[in-house]
Amino acid sequence: MSVKELKSLKNNNKVIFEGKKYKPLKNAYIESYGCQMNFADSEVVASILSKEGYSISKNIEDANLILINTCSIREKAEQTVRKRLEYFKSKKKYHSDFTVGVLGCMAERLKHKFLEEEKIVDLVVGPDSYKDIPNLLEEVANNREAVNVLLSKDETYGDIAPIRLNTNGVTAFVSITRGCDNMCTFCVVPFTRGRERSRDPKSILNEVSDLVSKGYKEITLLGQNVDSYLWYGGGLKKDFDKANSLQKKTALRFENLLSLVAKENPKIRIRFSTSNPQDMSIEVLKVMAKFDNICKYIHLPVQSGSNAILKKMNRQHTREEYIQLINSIRDIVPNCGISHDMISGFPTETEKDHKDTLELMDYVKYDFGFMFAYSERPGTLAARKIKDNIPEKVKKRRLSEIILKQQEHSLFRTNEFLGKTVCVLIEKTSKRSQDFWSGRTTQNTVVVFPKEEFKLGEFVDVKINSCTSATLQGKAVRISNHI
Ligand code: SAH
Ligand code: F3S
């Protein structure tokens, strides 16, 4: 190879020079959007790539493979991804030789269309096909179409040890179920992530103990619908009926898994997300109450406080049943933090329905929430059957009323901590100042306090002396005996 040729390849990031050998540069950059599951999946992808000799780069400039793990949940999420693809296009002018791959829900939703719509995209991979990425990269190298969007009955990536990306070394996600069978009429997830299946408990326990041995102090068990976890030896949840009697007898449900993880790992905090009201059982609440190391926090999306709307959304519970569940939580797990997801302006929503939502919020007084204006998603039952008839202006106004109400309730909840001493796991330096730590209480409320002699990853008791609606401020008084 002439010096000139080598220079040109180097400039294009195509080779590295190692001893006397030229090796193709394998540097991947992965960007993730959307839910926690996507961030966890990117860690699986990083692991698959590293087995292929790739290093994972934090810097887009160093990469010759750019992957973007995408979200389809609302139109805006998709627009964000499209903008990033525009940006990658602009990069191509200066640094011509890199491959762009689209992963995740948008890949699943748009399939081959992506290659036509976005010329910058070389590779399209759905959430169940990440093990095929090495083969697909070969296809790209050979100028062939590289698309795999097959959804699987049993893929859980249980056999892959994720490579932790952007980690603080303290908290990590461990996925336990994939897909969702609930078919809420507004939601694209069942189409993009397929049917529900659970991961082998052994591989979950192994992953957790590996994290513990590396010094992690908190793990979050992840799934679209964790309470519906069901291990009977593999296979789809919906095929459980066909399992044999031994499989049925020895099946493991979420409360069993949670209990196993908590018992085996008494020195770390366990969280889980997301819970679905219809699937959350009293048994899960009892396990939460029994183990100190299971955090007293439940993310319990409700979407609407109106029975008419809940029905049209195909949520499998009524407002009254939801309230009953909230009462059980308050009884069995006192001082439990509760958060919600809420949608404003679902088709046909009246002012009365909206009022029902605000009233439900008044009843629960959530610690915090994630609130959205309805966004019609192509292919969903709502998009096909119910006209998106609430004007944007009305959706936005109702949304701001919901947000305002939540701010009041959040402030009410954070005020309850004033003067109290709470156990906090130190997770990172505060964004506000280099001299402050940031961590969370068991209820998932953020706490900020001066660093003093305390260290990352320690459990400390913090006396709370002031708050905003989103954050508690205080002073650490000692290393905690709690968790
Ligand atoms: N069970 C999932 C829910 C994923 S979607 C989980 O693990 O969290 C997250 C939230 O996005 C939903 O709870 C819902 O409030 C909101 N959402 C979903 N589809 C939406 C749509 N079409 N328009 C507006 N918000 C939506
Ligand atoms: Fe979506 Fe409903 Fe499942 S919101 S992820 S279909 S529980």
Tell me the CATH number at 214.
3.80.30.20
Q: What is the pLDDT of residue 167?
A: 95
Ligand 1, atom 6: nearest CA belongs to which residue?
A: 224
To the nearest whole percent, how much of the chain has pLDDT over 70? 94
Residues 303 and 401 in one domain: yes
pLDDT of residue 95: 66
**What pLDDT, on the 0 to 100 scale, is given for residue 2?**
46
Q: Is residue 291 part of a domain?
A: yes
CB of 300 sitting under 6 A from ligand 2: no
Q: Ligand 1: does its nearest atom lie under 6 Å from the Cβ of 191?
A: no
- Report the amino acid identity of residue 434: Q
Please state the rounded mean pLDDT for residues 275-301. 97
341/369 Cα distance (integer angstroms):
6
- Quickly count helices (H) and strands (E) in the chain: 16, 23
Number of domains in the chain: 3
Ligand minimally distant from the alpha carbon of residue 76? 1
Q: Is residue 156 part of a domain?
A: no
Query: Is residue 408 assigned to a domain?
Result: yes
Residue 84 reports pLDDT greater than 70: yes
Nearest ligand 2 atom to the CA of 303 is 4
Q: 313 burial class (0-12, 13-18, 19+ CB within 10 angstroms)?
A: buried
Residue 19 confidence (pLDDT):
55
Atom index in ligand 2 nearest the CA of residue 187 equals 1
Each residue's pLDDT tens digit, 232-277: 999 999 999 999 999 999 999 999 999 999 999 999 999 999 999 9
Domain final position from 413, 437, 471: 413
Q: What is the pLDDT of residue 43?
A: 98
Together in a domain, 96 and 219: no
User: Quick one: which H or E segment has residue 141?
Assistant: helix 133-141
pLDDT for res 92: 78
CATH number at residue 108: 3.40.50.12160
Pocket flag, ligand 2, residue 380 (CB < 6 Å): no
* Residue 163, domain member (yes or no): no
Question: 292 lies in a domain?
Answer: yes
Predicted local confidence at residue 97, as pLDDT: 79
Indicate if ligand 2 lies below 6 Å from the C-beta of 414. no
CB 158 within 8 A of CB 180: no
> Does 469 lie in the same domain as 339?
no
pLDDT band at 39 (very low <50, low <70, confident <90, very high): very high
Question: 361 and 458: one domain?
Answer: no
Where does the pLDDT of residue 21 fall: very low under 50, low under 70, confident under 90, or very high at 90 and above?
Answer: low
338 and 446 belong to one structural domain: no
Is 162 contained in some domain? no
Distance of CA 427 from the midpoint of ligand 1 (Å): 27
- 248 and 391 within one domain: yes
Sequence-distant (6+) residues with CB within 8 A of 323 are 360, 363, 364
- Give the distance (Å) from ligand 2 centre to CA of residue 225: 8
Least confident span in 18-32, 251-265, 291-305: 18-32
* The pLDDT of residue 181 is above 60: yes
Note whether 369 and 233 are same-domain residues: yes
CA-nearest residue for atom 1, ligand 2, is 187
Task: Judge whether 154 lies within some domain.
Answer: no
> Which residue has the CA at smallest separation from atom 14 of ligand 1?
341
One domain for residues 467 and 401? no
pLDDT at 341: 98
Residue 464 and residue 393 share a domain: no
Q: Are residues 256 and 402 in the same domain?
A: yes
Cβ of residue 300 lying under 6 Å from some atom of ligand 1: no
Instruction: Judge if the beta carbon of residue 344 lies within 6 A of ligand 1.
Output: no
Where in the sequence is the domain holding 102, given as residue range(s)? 3-148
The per-residue pLDDT for 23 is 55
Does the pLDDT value for residue 10 go beyond 60?
no
Q: Which of the listed residues 178, 317, 341 should we mutate to test ligand 1's pocket, taking the one with most ligand atoms within 8 A of CB?
A: 341
- pLDDT tens digits along 89-111: 988 776 667 999 999 999 999 99
CATH of the domain at 450: 2.40.50.140
How many angstroms separate the alpha carbon of residue 319 from the centre of ligand 1? 18
Please indicate, yes or no, whether residues 330 and 204 belong to a single structural domain of this protein: yes
Residues 6+ apart with CB under 8 A from 8: none
180 in ligand 2 pocket by Cβ < 6 Å? yes
pLDDT tens across 111-132, in order? 999 999 999 999 999 999 999 9
Q: Is the pLDDT of residue 467 over 80?
A: yes
Contact 66, 88 (CB under 8 A): yes
Whether 428 maps to a domain, the answer reads yes
Say whether both 221 and 306 belong to one domain: yes
